[in-house]
């Protein structure tokens, strides 16, 4: 088994606990963490496993040695895209075609393997504790699980369009199935940051527990895991409901709930007789902005900062993801997109990472610079096959999608 101090797997009772332990990077998933994660799941999902009956995933605080009032909770801020940027700059090879041995392919391939296995294993329920930031890859290792616990510190977002990428890790599959109306497109395109009340309103989170109660919650879950009565194959729901509370801000008054009529009007794409384009969305926002709707003006301003290419492939990905039959099909599509985004050294992905994470000037120069310049043919090319495709992992236990 491959080990790293950045990820700490352990057993507590009959619960397999995975603690993300990379606080300097906000627990972002690095390659060594993914390798350790993979080997851990190999053991816990193996048919011979008789001990692990539940998987609990959590993160270490950003300042774990600080006093409780000064700690900064974090779950996982995503994947280490900066490392992929540096690899694309320095590692020779045929990037963008899924070639093994290249970080731009290996990272996505291995990450998606984990996401797929977590999403499809029905034998072992998964609980994720979203105490802090949950973004990108952090959503991939948690949102497909059965239970997602928000706290007062939760901050969930898929901000990839600002990086010249797209919401991946199965987002084109789970978003159209968990979220309704205009919410999938709104959240995916804008990268809007969701707090606990938004997560409960949308159903992305299944429970809310105050952070001060998390230790007691975990102890109670461990106790429940020791129950041997076969009639209680999943005793964790009752424990979670015992600790579940209504957050201080009522979900019915969350930002998304407050602006839901406008979000649905602008961003609903699934029920239209004629599928909406990004140009349609921007035009409607401009109209509402001219009518002095502040929310429309703010949303328009946000989208105008995003990569035009990312916006278009994200919208198309949502449409296609709503139609695929399985999470595996969706991840195959997303792997192709990931390779297209890393294929060229001057891609929007490379420029976005440079501007946001490397030089930090926060002034990316997108190419093409406007939506009108991103043609349908260019978008279609992102969805085309690659030489070395992502292959659905061989299951180690009966699998089914839970979404």
- Kindly report, residue by residue over 65-112, the tens digit of the pLDDT: 666 666 689 999 999 999 889 989 998 889 999 999 999 999 999 999
Burial of 152 (0-12, 13-18, 19+ CB in 10 A): middle
Q: Which of 168, 316, 348, 351 is catalytic?
A: 168
User: In terms of pLDDT, which residue wins out, 211 or 400?
Assistant: 211
Of the residues 59, 79, 98, 136, which is catalytic? 79
Determine whether 168 is an active site residue: yes
Q: 285: buried, middle or exposed (CB in 10 Å: 19+, 13-18, 0-12)?
A: buried
Q: What is the CA radius of gyration of the chain?
A: 21
Determine contact, residues 58/90, Cβ cutoff 8 Å.
Answer: no
43 pLDDT above the threshold of 50: yes
* Res 397: pLDDT: 46
The structure tokens listed for 86 are: 């540096």
| Cα 402 to Cα 8: distance, rounded to the nearest angstrom | 26
Query: Each residue of 237-249: pLDDT tens digit?
Result: 999 999 999 888 8
Residues 335-360 have pLDDT tens digits of: 999 999 999 999 999 999 999 999 99
Number of C-beta neighbours around residue 361 at 10 A: 9
Is the per-residue pLDDT at 252 higher than 90? Answer: no
Q: Which residues touch 302 (CB under 8 Å, ≥6 apart)?
A: 190, 191, 192
User: Out of 115, 160, 316, 334, which one is annotated catalytic?
Assistant: 160
Question: Which pLDDT tens digit goes with each residue over 8-32?
Answer: 999 999 999 999 999 999 999 999 9
Q: How many CB atoms lie within 10 A of CB 325?
A: 9
Pairing verdict, β 207-208 and 15-20: unpaired
Tokens of 287: 């109209």
Question: Could you count the other beta carbons within 10 Å of the beta carbon of residue 272?
Answer: 9
Active site residue 181: no
At 139, the pLDDT band (50, 70, 90 cuts) reads very high
As a whole number, mean pLDDT of residues 272-281 equals: 83
pLDDT tens column, 143-172: 999 999 999 999 999 999 999 999 999 999
Rounded distance, CA 52 to CA 14, Å? 5
- The structure's pTM equals 0.93
- Catalytic residue status for 389: no
d(CA 75, CA 171): 18
* Position 398 confidence tier, pLDDT thresholds 50, 70, 90: very low
Q: CA distances (Å), 19 to each of 9, 22, 59, 262, 296, in order? A: 6, 9, 5, 39, 40
The stretch 107-127 carries a mean pLDDT of 94
CA 320 to chain centre: 18
Pinpoint the alpha helices (H) of 343-385.
348-353, 376-382
403 has pLDDT over 60: no
pLDDT at residue 400 above 60? no
Question: What is the model's pLDDT at position 358?
Answer: 95
Residue 93 falls in the annotated catalytic set: no
Distance CA 324, CA 366 (A): 30
Mean of pLDDT over the chain? 93
Q: What is the mean pLDDT of residues 177-196?
A: 97
Q: Which pLDDT does position 365 carry in this prediction?
A: 97
377-400: average pLDDT: 83
d(CA 336, CA 172): 13
What is the architecture of the domain spanning 7-382? Alpha-Beta Complex (3.90)
Beta-bridge mates of residue 130: 150
Annotated active-site residue in 13, 98, 137, 145: 137
Decide which of 317 and 46 is more confident: 317
Domain locations in the chain?
7-382
């Amino acid at each position: 088994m491959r080990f790293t101090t950045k990820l700490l797997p352990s057993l507590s009772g009959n619960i397999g606990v995975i603690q993300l332990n990379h606080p300097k990077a906000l627990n972002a998933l690095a390659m060594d963490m993914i390798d350790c994660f993979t080997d851990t799941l190999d053991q816990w999902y193996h048919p011979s496993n008789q001990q692990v009956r539940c998987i609990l995933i959590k993160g270490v605080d950003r300042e774990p040695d600080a006093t409780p009032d000064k700690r900064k909770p974090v779950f996982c801020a995503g994947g280490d895209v900066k490392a992929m940027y540096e690899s694309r700059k320095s590692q020779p090879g045929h990037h963008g075609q899924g070639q093994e041995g290249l970080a731009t392919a290996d990272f996505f391939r291995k990450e998606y393997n984990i996401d797929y296995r977590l999403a499809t294993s029905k034998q072992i329920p998964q609980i994720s504790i979203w105490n802090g930031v949950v973004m990108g890859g952090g959503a991939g290792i948690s949102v497909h699980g059965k239970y997602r616990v928000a706290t007062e510190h939760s901050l969930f977002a898929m901000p990839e369009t600002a990086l010249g990428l797209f919401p991946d890790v199965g987002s084109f599959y789970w978003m159209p199935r968990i979220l309704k109306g205009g919410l999938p497109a709104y959240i995916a395109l804008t990268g809007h940051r969701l707090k606990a009340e938004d997560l409960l309103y949308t159903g992305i989170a299944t429970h809310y527990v105050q952070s001060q109660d998390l230790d007691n919650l975990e102890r109670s879950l461990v106790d429940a895991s020791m129950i041997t009565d076969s009639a209680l194959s999943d005793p964790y729901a009752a424990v979670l409901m015992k600790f579940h509370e209504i957050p201080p801000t009522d979900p019915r008054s969350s930002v998304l709930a407050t602006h839901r009529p406008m979000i649905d009007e602008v961003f609903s794409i699934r029920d239209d007789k004629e599928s909406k384009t990004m140009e349609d969305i921007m035009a409607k926002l401009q109209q509402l902005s001219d009518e002095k709707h502040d929310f429309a003006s703010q949303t328009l301003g946000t989208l105008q900062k995003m990569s035009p290419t990312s916006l278009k492939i994200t919208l198309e990905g949502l449409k296609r993801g709503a139609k695929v039959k399985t999470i595996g099909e969706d991840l195959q599509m997303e792997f192709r997109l990931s390779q297209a985004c890393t294929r060229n050294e001057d891609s929007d992905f490379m420029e976005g990472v440079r501007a946001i994470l490397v030089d930090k000037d926060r002034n990316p120069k997108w190419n093409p610079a406007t939506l009108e310049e991103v043609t349908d043919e260019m978008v279609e090319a992102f969805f085309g096959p690659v030489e070395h495709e992502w292959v659905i992992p061989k299951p180690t236990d009966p699998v089914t999608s839970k979404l």
